[in-house]
Chain A
Amino acid sequence: MATSFDNLRITTDFTLRLCARLRKDGVAVGMQQSGACIEAITLHGEVDEDALKAIYRITLINRKQDLQALESAYDQLMHDYLAPRRERGTRDEAAEPEAMIVKRRQFSDDESQPIDDSDVAQTEGYSVREVDHQKDFRLTPEKEFSAVLAELEKIAKKYATIARRKTRRSKRRGTIDLRASLRDSVRHDGEIVAWRYKRKVPTHSRWVVVSDVSGSMEIYSVFLLNFLFVLSEGRRFKMEGFVFSTRLEHLARCFGLRDFQEMLAGVARRFSGWSGGTRIGASLEALNESYGTMITPKTNVVIVSDGWDTGDIPTLDREMARLRVRARSITWINPLRAAPDYEPLALGMATALPYCDRFVTGHSIESFARFAELMDAA
């Protein structure tokens, strides 16, 4: 998927990080050096690792003593870049305990450490972007979580606070409606007796988010819920949240809360199915039965899941059909869809897909931004 432009961007990012790291190690890498290095890389278009290392050796450093520093900085940085990918082989073990610990550390308050943003802080000089917008959340090292969340918040705020142009007649609030006032004045021979006012209409769309927090999906769901939380702050979107794995849990009033992460941590503690297996059908059944009133013809339903269902497929089919009839639209977010060769082969996914209006990915910051656009248009 990666175009040569992406390559160049990533390589540039890598190079600048390497420069920053070298400077931290006491190697004097000036603008002249880093500039020449970037120029050299651009010149090559595509470079393999050997050539890239050679370019670094030639352009970045200028004394033999620094060779060692360069070598070790390169290795470390490369390790950091590849480390999350190394874990990829283990992704199928859905309920790996590490993932759970990772999340809880991040989002619970009792064991929380000060947010580690040292990684962001140590990036001296110019960086293309502190967070890669296309990087899969699964591959994001834990250190960068806070940076990713900050980035998501930025995007969400943009959509959360767009003012609508639609206005409504108002008794005293808002601005003077000159047009209506003049229209009224006709009755009094052009004398304006009373001002008419208008105010912006807080239009909103209704959203019910059903989020899979089973082992395979947890990381995406947590990011998405955080994202949606910021989106809902601007009152444009009325949100209700649910998490499910083997059963459904309502995140009651969660989107109105002040500290969303604390709430999420609370749910994580209480909700036994966190990071477990998945039963989409049963969970949707619970949604339809117990929270049926929430789903009106104005409601957009968002289901976040990778479609790996360990439960009953006919149930899923039936419940999706029920949901389809009641909801305005159904959006399915599946992070796996990001892969170019993805096909909805998982039985759960294949069953549910015909009922969905939109089937989008949600694996990276950029895909969230696109999703926000969709929500904006809804």
Chain B
Amino acid sequence: MGLVPKPDRHPARPAARPVVEAMERADSAPDDDPRDEVGKEKGAMHPAYEKIVNALRGQDYIADTDIAATVFLADQLAKPILIEGEAGVGKTEIARVLARLNDTELIRLQCYEGLDANAALYEWNYQKQIIAIRLHEAKGAGALSLENLYSQDYLLHRPVLKALMAEKRAVLLLDEIDRADEEFEALLLETLAEFQMSIPELGTIKAKHPPLIILTSNRTRELTDALRRRCLYLWIAYPSFQKELEVIRLKVPAVSEALAMQVTSFVQALRREKLNKVPGLAEAIDWARALQSTGVRVLASADVESTIGVLLKDHQDIRFFRKDLVKSLMDKVAHGHVVR
């Protein structure tokens, strides 16, 4: 409903509704009258988003408006997505889920320092070329033309080219692009903007089905503007209480309601502390799984201390946690303290 301020409504923005409520509303939407005014005004998302959220939920992924909007726009505007966020908030998972959702191949390229075009884009199959030359000589047939040697037959498809050549719209995940060198970003620019790749010996290969390109970054280094400009930007923050609870219940269905609540509030409270490495959503899920599998029904200090290695991955953090944090955090959880 655009920006036209509605004359008889108070301009103050409606208070943000808890995600859970919004989700429940989304679930029960088919039963309600779709023209229900209140629902339309407040909780409901854009119908396109709702579809995406529901689809992602079907793949065990809880998406909020931002994620849904990004997926929607990436599809419609045909732009790559650049996802940044702290470790373990589900950046890579989006690519995985989207590939599953579209029932296509997930082509993954884990970036690392020193990654080059040969490993990421394409490579000529020298061995095969040499063998071809030798065979040709042995047969005694006439000269082998260069065009024959530099053809599709001798081209090794590395992930990026593979995604471009795919018969179906593929999902290309360039994971942790910040680990690769800055020069490597430049190699990607053509593909990101045009969905094509120029190979000097062969010509330009244009994607038949532009792949959905997803780049993730942990911000260990600042990415260049040229790369950023070509992408839709999605920042995934640590999840809210509701979202985290939702995810834990979805990912670890066996966990009891009470434990899920406790785990969530504990992790939420823990993130507020000064830690070297803050646990992400992935750690929280692992922890819930660990607690559940050890048969814990209700969170107790002893259980926390014995399983804390799942949550905290830093020696200093664990020492600090054992010394100072356990009690205060447990108190918070016991008092039903919910960090929003």
Residues on A lying within 8 angstroms of B by beta carbon are: 2, 4, 6-8, 10-11, 14, 28, 30, 32-33, 36, 39-40, 43-44, 46-52, 54-55, 57-59, 61-64, 67, 81-82, 85-86, 88
Chain B contact residues, CB within 8 Å of chain A: 1-5, 7, 11, 13, 45-46, 48-49, 65-66, 69-70, 73, 76-77, 79, 82, 84, 219, 222, 225, 228-235
Q: How far is the CA of A64 from the CA of B238 in the complex (A)?
A: 13
Question: Quick check: B73 and A57 within 8 Å, CB to CB?
Answer: no
Q: List 9 A-B contacts (CB under 8 A).
A: A2-B2, A7-B4, A30-B229, A36-B77, A36-B79, A48-B1, A54-B69, A57-B235, A59-B232
Q: Give the contacting residue for A67; candidates B1, B7, B48, B235; CB below 8 A.
A: B235
What's the minimum C-beta distance from B217 to chain A, rounded to whole angstroms? Answer: 10
Q: Give which listed residue, A10, A11, A59, contacts B73 with CB less than 8 A.
A: A59
Residues of chain A contacted by B235 (CB below 8 angstroms): 57, 64, 67
Which B-chain residue is minimally distant from A52 (CB atoms)? B3
Which residues of B sit under 8 angstroms from A50, Cβ to Cβ?
A: 45, 65
Closest chain-B Cβ to A56's Cβ sits at a distance in Å of 10
Contact of A58 among B5, B7, B234 (CB under 8 A): B234
A-B CB proximity, top 10 nearest: A7-B2, A62-B228, A54-B69, A62-B233, A2-B4, A82-B11, A54-B65, A54-B66, A11-B3, A58-B232
Cross-chain contact of A57 among B76, B82, B233 (Cβ < 8 A) = B233
Please state if A58 and B219 are interface contacts (CB–CB under 8 Å): no
Chain A residues with CB below 8 A from B3, complex form: 7, 10-11, 14, 52, 81
Q: Is the CB of B76 within 8 A of A43?
A: yes
Q: Which of B69, B77, B228 has the most CB of A within 10 A?
A: B69
Nearest-CB residue, chain A, relative to B84: A64
Which among A10, A32, A36 has the greatest number of chain B C-beta atoms within 10 A?
A36
CA distance A54 to B16 in the complex (A): 14
Q: In the complex the two chains form, is B77's CB within 8 Å of A40's CB?
A: yes
A64 CA to B217 CA, complexed, in Å: 11
Asked whether, in the complex, the Cβ of A85 is within 8 Å of the Cβ of B231, the reply is: no
**Residue from A51, A81, A88 in contact with B69 in the complex, judged by beta carbons closer than 8 Å:** A51
Q: Specify the chain B residue showing the minimal Cβ separation from A62.
A: B228
Q: In the bound complex, how far is the Cα of B73 from the Cα of A30, in angstroms?
A: 18
User: A57 to chain B: which residues have CB within 8 Å?
Assistant: 66, 233-235
A6 contacts B4, C-beta separation under 8 Å:
yes
Closest to A7 in B: B2
Assess whether A55 is in contact with B69, with CB atoms less than 8 Å apart. Answer: yes
Given known contacts A59-B73, A63-B228, A51 and B49 CB-to-CB distance under 8 angstroms? yes
Residues from chain B with a CB closer than 8 A to the CB of A40 are 73, 76-77
Q: Choose from B65, B229, B234 the contact partner of A33 (Cβ within 8 Å).
A: B229
Q: Is the CB of B5 within 8 A of A62?
A: no
**Is the CB–CB distance between A7 and B229 below 8 Å?**
no
B84, B225, B229 interface centre (most CB from chain A within 10 Å): B229
* A36 adjacent to B2 (CB under 8 Å): no
- Taking CB as reference atom, which chain A residue is nearest B22? A50
CA distance A119 to B336 in the complex (A): 50
- Closest CB in chain A relative to B37 CB, distance in Å: 13
Question: Contact: B229 with A51, CB < 8 Å?
Answer: no
Which residues on B sit within 8 Å (CB–CB) of A59? Answer: 73, 232-233
CA distance A6 to B1 in the complex (A): 11
Complexed CA–CA distance, A43 and B232 (Å)? 15
Contact of A4 among B2, B7, B65, B84 (CB under 8 A): B2
Least Cβ–Cβ distance between A71 and chain B, in angstroms:
12
Cβ B233 vs Cβ A47 within 8 A: no
Contact A49 B48 (CB under 8 A): no
A49 touches B13 (CB 8 A): yes
Q: A7, B11: Cβ atoms under 8 Å?
A: no
User: In the complex, how many angstroms separate the beta carbon of B257 from the nearest chain A beta carbon?
Assistant: 28
Q: Which residues of the other chain, B, contact A64 by a CB distance below 8 angstroms? A: 84, 219, 235
Task: Please give me the residue from chain B that is nearest to A83 by CB atom.
Answer: B11
Chain B residues positioned under 8 Å from A7 (CB to CB):
1-4
| Minimal Cβ-Cβ distance residue in B for A4 | B2
How many Å lie between the Cα of A54 and that of B222 in the bound state?
Answer: 23
In the complex, the answer to whether A51 meets B65 with C-beta atoms within 8 Å is yes
| Bound CA–CA A4/B3 (angstroms) | 10
Further 14 A-B residue pairs, CB within 8 A, beyond A59-B73, A62-B82: A7-B3, A30-B229, A36-B73, A36-B77, A43-B73, A44-B48, A46-B46, A48-B1, A54-B70, A55-B69, A62-B225, A63-B222, A81-B3, A86-B11
Cβ–Cβ contact B5 & A81, under 8 A: yes
Question: Is there contact, CB below 8 Å, between B1 and A46?
Answer: yes
Q: Within the complex, what minimum Cβ distance (angstroms) separates B157 from chain A?
A: 29
Task: Give the distance to chain B from A34, nearest Cβ to Cβ, in Å.
Answer: 11
A39–B77 CB distance below 8 A: yes
A4 contact set on B, CB distance < 8 A? 2
Residue ID in chain A nearest B8 by CB atoms: A88
Interchain CA distance A173-B3 in the complex, whole Å: 57
A15 to chain B, nearest CB (A): 9
Complex interface: chain B residues within 8 A of A47 (CB): 1-2, 46
Closest-CB distance, A125 to chain B (whole angstroms) = 16
Q: Which residues of A contact B231 (CB under 8 A)?
A: 62
Chain A residue contacts of B230, Cβ below 8 A: 32
CA distance A82 to B5 in the complex (A): 7
Docked complex Cα distance between A7 and B5 (Å): 10
